[in-house]
Chains A and B, each alone.
Chain A
Amino acid sequence: MEIILSAAIGVLTASGVYLLLRPRTYQVIIGLSLLSYAVNLFIFSMGRLRVNAPPILEPGGVGDLSRYTDPVPQALVLTAIVIGFAMTALFLVVLLASRGFTGTDHVDGREQRSE
């Protein structure tokens, strides 16, 4: 499971960074989204991977840490998702405004001269 998760985070990050560096605003926003997914998974994995372990206390299991997973990264990831989502939406608005002003979806607001 560790290998699958770390590979997933790696692939998402790599694709995200690649797209972030591309010249089209649409690619940038997809890149940022992929990057934020990778980061969210990464935060989640920092609480160590556990299967079938809830992050909240069950009756009778109080004090037995082996039955629980770390709840803090789950709380953190929730916050990160909300903030990341809001920021992506905001970026989308700026992107559309830029498209409206310049008539192009190049990040610099004008096409590069062809060689």
Chain B
Amino acid sequence: MSNWLHHLIILPILIPLMVGAAMIPIDERNRMAKGVMGFVSTLVLFVLSMVLMRAAASTEGFLAGTSVYQLGNWPAPFGIVLVLDRLSALMLCLTSGLALAAQVYSIARWHTAGHHFHSLFQLLIAGLNGAFLTGDLFNLFVFFELMLAASYGLLLHGSGPLRVKAGLHYVAINLAASSLFLIGVSLIYGATGTLNMADLAIKLSTISPENRQMVEVGAGILGVAFLVKAGMWPLSFWLPTAYSAATPPVAAVFAVLTKVGIYVILRLSLLVFGANAGVSAGFGQTLLVIGGMLTIAFGAIGVLASQAMARLAAYSVLVSSGTLMAAIGLGHSSMIAGALFYLVSSTLTISAFFLLIELVERGRDAGADVLAVTMEAYGDADEDEEVDEAGAAIPGTMAVLGLCFCLCALLLAGLPPLSGFVAKFAILSGLFGLSGAEPTPALSAADWTYVTLLILSGLSAMIAMNRVGIRTFWASIENTVPRVFVIEIAPVVVLLGACIFLSLQAGPTMRYMQATADSLLNPSGYTERVLTAPRVGGQ
């Protein structure tokens, strides 16, 4: 029985892969059928990842703590393993939750904008889940590429010159980053002879100095590839253009794409360059701190400078990435739990915001915000002809949209009482040592800069959201009320509801995050489980 349940670990990769493949031959006219298939698949994934997260959070029973799935029944350093622990279960849950919301949203109208939307969507989820589950560096590359290939298609979904131009830059920079990824992986393999992350962590403590140098060079190059994905400052100029050009449901899932980079950096820096790494412990942290802070500053300035809401949301992605990078880089173990909470909360918020933007801006002229003053000269905007709309329009549209917008603003700025505040509070209380878990070390200049930037970035988000909100809801020149359907607003409400739930259940959630952080900070448990996992039906 326990062996059979073990196969649950691979299902988050298999289900979307199979469903995505099965949809390809179905004719595009049966879009609804595809949508329903995709919805069912994502729903199953969501339930499954909830089950996996509960299991990983428990201390005994099946799949408790860290569990290992050996592909092809080969033991760890020789075969590829999938590893489920609290962190990967958390990321699976986040991904499938966002995917569910975006999928439902797309069924209203966006999936008609091009071909194979639902297949690409499922393949993207398969790639994401694989990247979160794998315990092998090269396998990570393969899942990364699967995810990227699907994301190229999704970014171009809907076509048009703007998307194609953004897509061209996005593809080019990601191909270059993939080359760096490969160079990094092969340097690490050349120096240590292993690609398994757990095995690498063990081997690094007993490696010769010249090989250690090679591993560090490899890890540095690898890190650059992930930082491109995560959007660290000098490597992030592609991000706002690409994210604001993408169709809303796509942009909503892309919010979790940057978090893949963060996830890998968090995983590798704590596992491989954690406390047991000897001389290499804390490798690259200074760079992460500086880069992260510059990213926060760049993102905050971008947020203030943005006229269009989609760009504002895209710059918020950068702020969120920068906050996490610097939190990882500062290296205070007490901050990790808060950072994880922030990761979940900010990703949910930004996704909800991306979905909301299109609803608010629907029926308005493109660039209405920029040209707000001269709008009267334009006269009435022509109604776009609407295609294939499903569901009923909701009453009191502007009230609902406005309320959702307010919630987004509170969450992005990190004001109480919502989870954005709880997350930032958790990070800061970890930094100041308020939790009392360990004696408070004196705060360095870097710590104070981080605190300042964190608070200023919240302020800039508040100012920008206020300005956009006033212009959109109070002082809007056209009084066209957008037609919004229940299945479009429902995902936004659900995502924001998840944030409210996080605020209400902050205690239990923080306990889970703390347990996750503790297991990340003691990598010996992870490496031991991976390397000593028994083969099925044998020794």
- Decide whether A and B are members of one complex: yes
Please give the residue numbers on chain A whose beta carbons come within 8 Å of chain B beta carbons, in ascending order. 20, 25, 28, 32, 35-36, 38-39, 42-43, 46-48, 72-73, 76, 79-80, 83-84, 86-88, 90-91, 94-95, 97-98, 101-102, 107-109
From known contacts A35-B176, A46-B187, A109-B161, infer whether A98 and B152 are also in contact, taking CB-CB under 8 Å. Answer: no
* CB <8 Å contact, A95 and B168: yes
**Complex interface: chain B residues within 8 A of A80 (CB):** 182
* CB <8 Å contact, B142 and A83: yes
* CB <8 Å contact, A46 and B189: yes
Please give the residue numbers on chain B whose beta carbons come within 8 Å of chain A beta carbons, in ascending order. 138, 141-142, 145, 148-149, 152, 156, 159-161, 164-165, 167-169, 171-172, 175-176, 178-179, 182-183, 185-187, 189-190, 195
- CB contact between B178 and one of A20, A38, A72, A87 (< 8 Å): that residue: A87
- CB contact between A109 and one of B141, B156, B165, B179 (< 8 Å): that residue: B165
> What are 7 A-B interface contacts by the 8 Å CB criterion?
A32-B175, A38-B179, A39-B183, A42-B186, A76-B138, A79-B141, A91-B171
* CB <8 Å contact, B172 and A20: yes
* CB <8 Å contact, A32 and B172: yes
A95 nearest in chain B by CB position: B168
Interface centre among A72, A88, A107 (most CB of B within 10 A): A72
Could you tell me the dominant secondary structure of chain A's interface residues?
A: helix
* CB <8 Å contact, A20 and B161: no
**Complex interface: chain A residues within 8 A of B179 (CB):** 32, 35-36, 38-39
* CB <8 Å contact, A73 and B168: no
CA gap between A28 and B176 in the complex, in Å = 10
CA gap between A23 and B172 in the complex, in Å = 12
CA gap between A28 and B170 in the complex, in Å = 13
CA gap between A102 and B163 in the complex, in Å = 12
CA gap between A92 and B165 in the complex, in Å = 13
* CB <8 Å contact, B165 and A98: yes
* CB <8 Å contact, B152 and A90: yes
- CB contact between B186 and one of A25, A36, A73 (< 8 Å): that residue: A73
CA gap between A35 and B179 in the complex, in Å = 7
Interface centre among A38, A46, A107, A109 (most CB of B within 10 A): A46
Using A97-B156, A98-B168 as known contacts, list a sample of 10 further A-B pairs with CB atoms less than 8 Å apart, ordered by residue number in A: A32-B175, A39-B182, A39-B183, A43-B185, A46-B190, A72-B189, A83-B178, A90-B171, A98-B164, A109-B165
* CB <8 Å contact, B168 and A83: no
* CB <8 Å contact, B164 and A43: no
* CB <8 Å contact, B167 and A94: yes
CA gap between A86 and B175 in the complex, in Å = 11
A83 to chain B, nearest CB (A): 5
From known contacts A20-B176, A107-B168, infer whether A101 and B161 are also in contact, taking CB-CB under 8 Å. Answer: yes
From known contacts A46-B189, A94-B156, A97-B156, infer whether A32 and B182 are also in contact, taking CB-CB under 8 Å. Answer: no
**Complex interface: chain A residues within 8 A of B142 (CB):** 79, 83
From known contacts A42-B186, A91-B171, A95-B168, infer whether A102 and B161 are also in contact, taking CB-CB under 8 Å. Answer: yes
* CB <8 Å contact, A94 and B189: no
From known contacts A42-B183, A72-B189, A101-B164, infer whether A83 and B172 are also in contact, taking CB-CB under 8 Å. Answer: no
**Complex interface: chain A residues within 8 A of B161 (CB):** 98, 101-102, 109
**Complex interface: chain A residues within 8 A of B156 (CB):** 94, 97
CA gap between A47 and B195 in the complex, in Å = 13
* CB <8 Å contact, B189 and A73: yes
Instruction: List the 4 closest pairs (A to B, CB-CB), nearest first.
Output: A46-B190, A43-B186, A101-B161, A46-B186
From known contacts A79-B138, A101-B161, infer whether A94 and B168 are also in contact, taking CB-CB under 8 Å. Answer: yes
CA gap between A57 and B161 in the complex, in Å = 54
From known contacts A46-B187, A72-B189, A76-B186, infer whether A32 and B164 are also in contact, taking CB-CB under 8 Å. Answer: no
CA gap between A25 and B169 in the complex, in Å = 10
* CB <8 Å contact, B176 and A90: no
CA gap between A110 and B160 in the complex, in Å = 15
A25 nearest in chain B by CB position: B168
CA gap between A109 and B241 in the complex, in Å = 14
**Complex interface: chain A residues within 8 A of B149 (CB):** 86-87, 90
- CB contact between B145 and one of A25, A35, A83 (< 8 Å): that residue: A83
* CB <8 Å contact, B189 and A102: no
CA gap between A28 and B172 in the complex, in Å = 8
**Complex interface: chain A residues within 8 A of B138 (CB):** 76, 79
- CB contact between B172 and one of A38, A86, A91, A101 (< 8 Å): that residue: A91
A5 to chain B, nearest CB (A): 14
- CB contact between A97 and one of B145, B164, B172 (< 8 Å): that residue: B164
* CB <8 Å contact, B186 and A107: no
**Complex interface: chain A residues within 8 A of B189 (CB):** 46, 72-73, 76
From known contacts A28-B172, A83-B145, infer whether A102 and B165 are also in contact, taking CB-CB under 8 Å. Answer: yes
A48 nearest in chain B by CB position: B190
